[in-house]
Amino acid sequence: MTFLESVSSPADLRALSLAECEVYAKEIREDLVATISRTGGHLGPNLGVVELTFALHRVFESPADTILLDVGHQSYVHKYVTGRRDRFATLRQRGGLSGYPSREESEHDVIENSHASTSLSWADGIAKAHQLRGEDDRWVVAVIGDGALTGGVAWEALNTIAADDSRPPRKLVIVINDNGRSYAPTVGGMAAHLDSLRASNSYEKLLSWGKERLQQSGPPGRAAYTAMRGVKRGLRDMTADAQTGIFDELGLKYIGPVDGHDQEAVERALQLAKDFEGGPVVVHTVTRKGFGYGPAIEDEVDQFHAVGVIDPITGKSQPSTGRSWTSAFGDAITDLARGREDIVAITAAMLDPVGLSGFRDEFPERVFDVGIAEQHAVASAAGLSYGGLHPVVCLYATFMNRAFDQVLMDVALHRQGVTFVLDRAGVTGPDGASHHGIWDMALLQAVPGLRLAAPRDAERLVEELGEAVGVEDAPTVVRFSRGKVGTEISHLRRTDDGADVLAEVPEGLSADVLIVSVGALADRALAVRQRLADAGIGATVVDPRWALPVPESVQSMAQVHRLAAVIEDGIRTGGIGSRLRQELRADDSTVGVVELGVPDVFLPQGTREEVLDYAGLTVEAMTEQILSRLPRTP
């Protein structure tokens, strides 16, 4: 029986020797490569935390001790250890194993949101709760990456944790998983500081000194005993007194840097942190993404941070067919920048994933990666705009949630011309609830003066991005989907205020339904029109192009139909359909509105098609909803 088969709990792992753990680590890495090559997922991060995860579960006792994994994409090894290995064939599939921690799966999982930098705040709160409830035997361990430490909320938490003077001190350990990267190499002052600590290597030097003394002392005896006491005393002194830059200045005790792939060393460091009775301790481990898998190590872009289906031997992915929305945007923004020297780009640790690599190569001085700091990115963009430039802030749609206040109060209130490009908008698929980009339209329609475009194809993306960067006194947003761009969908005519009529009422039928198609669902809107026509119901299809505010021409068209149906891949509560309803009500219109959007729930994982089906956005389901809501003729 392999260790993969025999280890189904942290207790089983604690029963293994270090030599057996080494074999188990090899088995897990091989199994990760074999499994993720079929399902896709976060391969590099998990290959890099095998020994660290083992050490955490051998020194601490989850779930009595709470282990918090920041971001959570590195939780696969944790899932192996906590008894979920047999479900990995279903990873990131509908009804299968989540690619992030999930409370439904295990009592060992806590944080599900997969948005970076929040683990330290969770740890602070849980540790306080333990203390107030008299649970003084329970530890809280937060594992946070060097990339996540670039996020502002992490430093807000560190400020609070460092100021804690409670007695007895709360039992809190912060483990830095330092692999020098988020998606790409980590940027900023914190990264430079960790580099300097890594270079000092004081902890590892002391361990090496101790091992040499032991080897020189010969058989166990007085010399060996003295050498070991010296090592232990040195480690204890480091924990209590070492001057370690920013952590010391904050008042946090620091152990490190530790080789994160030396399980014995990591366990020793964690045990020292656990034994220290003077307050929170930082344990700095140095790991390498993709460790143990040659193709990942050799990948200079992101070391297989996230992969699709790949060849497990070579690491090569299947040939891509079709053009992605992201690449279409990347080409468009680079082309615009050639003609406008004032255009600059900002991203939050996701330069390549949002399509800015070409822009960076051509205009390196005009692209700014601020780390995982969306709020700072947006406020800084306001300053860039005030300084005479036109910033384009490029984020995943789900991460725009974090910067809403800055959009509202720093950009819109000050009437700064800033363009926001939201990749992965709408239903995204296998990454689950927190990665679907379904909240942006509902949130952003509350921002005065903001305009939002949702292109239906690549041609409209280029067109609408050009219009967006032409606005210099208000925020503009261009949102688009994940995956491949469909075929071009031409329009019959364009209204004076920029809306595109894609299809008129079929000859011989009445103007019964106005279908308002927002973004990449235009092909479905046209299919719904055809189904309605087959049922004897006439429908017009219009793409507003600029969905916020709703063009007046769309409002006027709605009033000459019996019903308006708005198809959008954002939440329908407060979405574009809701906005159209408000505008029609303000005009005393009696035209009804059917809001065909995403329900106000956290959507599950699955393929994009499966999740759209779950949300009721199939052609069949939308047609039925329209027919059921269509007013009866007198």
Active site residues: 289, 374, 402
Residue 148 CB burial class (10 angstroms; 0-12, 13-18, ≥19) = buried
- What the block records as the tokens of 188 is 């900023």
Residue 147 annotated as lining a ligand binding site: yes
Strands 563-571 and 513-517: parallel
- What the block records as the tokens of 523 is 């092909």
- What the block records as the tokens of 49 is 């935390």
Residue 78 annotated as lining a ligand binding site: no
Residue 195 annotated as lining a ligand binding site: no
Name the DSSP class of 383.
H
Residue 148 annotated as lining a ligand binding site: yes
Say if CB 200 and CB 306 are below 8 A apart: no
- What the block records as the tokens of 560 is 């000459």
Residue 113 annotated as lining a ligand binding site: no
> Concatenated DSSP letters for 405-433?
HHIIIIIITTT---EEEEES-B---TT-G
End-to-end alpha-carbon separation of the chain, Å?
75
Say if CB 203 and CB 257 are below 8 A apart: yes
H or E stretch covering 494: strand 493-494
CA-based max dimension of the chain: 104
Name the DSSP class of 479.
E
Quick check: helix, strand or coil at residue 324?
Answer: strand
Say if CB 364 and CB 370 are below 8 A apart: no
DSSP lists the bridge partners of residue 393 as 346, 420
Residue 271 Cα distances to 6, 10, 53, 313, 589, angstroms: 26, 16, 14, 38, 70
Residue 497 Cα distances to 90, 389, 553, 560, angstroms: 48, 27, 7, 18
Question: CB-side exposure of 322: number of CA atoms within 13 Å?
Answer: 12
Sign of CA dihedral 256, 260, 264, 269: positive
Residue type for position 451: R
Residue 561 annotated as lining a ligand binding site: no
H or E stretch covering 124: helix 119-132
> Concatenated DSSP letters for 298-317?
H-TTTSSSSB-SB-TTT-PB
Quick check: helix, strand or coil at residue 455?
Answer: coil
Say if CB 47 and CB 29 are below 8 A apart: yes
- What the block records as the tokens of 270 is 């964690």
- What the block records as the tokens of 123 is 């740890």
Residue 114 annotated as lining a ligand binding site: yes
Quick check: helix, strand or coil at residue 360?
Answer: helix
- What the block records as the tokens of 137 is 């035997």
| H-state helical runs in 448-601 | 458-468, 522-534, 552-558, 576-586
Residue 374 annotated as lining a ligand binding site: yes
H or E stretch covering 452: strand 451-453
Residue 179 annotated as lining a ligand binding site: yes
Say if CB 41 and CB 92 are below 8 A apart: yes
Residue type for position 543: D
> Concatenated DSSP letters for 41-62?
B-HHHHHTTHHHHHHHHHHS-T
Residue 414 annotated as lining a ligand binding site: no
Q: Which residues are annotated as a binding site?
A: 73, 114-116, 146-148, 179, 293, 374
Q: Which residues are annotated as a binding site for thiamine diphosphate?
A: 73, 114-116, 147-148, 179, 293, 374
Q: Which residues are annotated as a binding site for Mg(2+)?
A: 146, 179
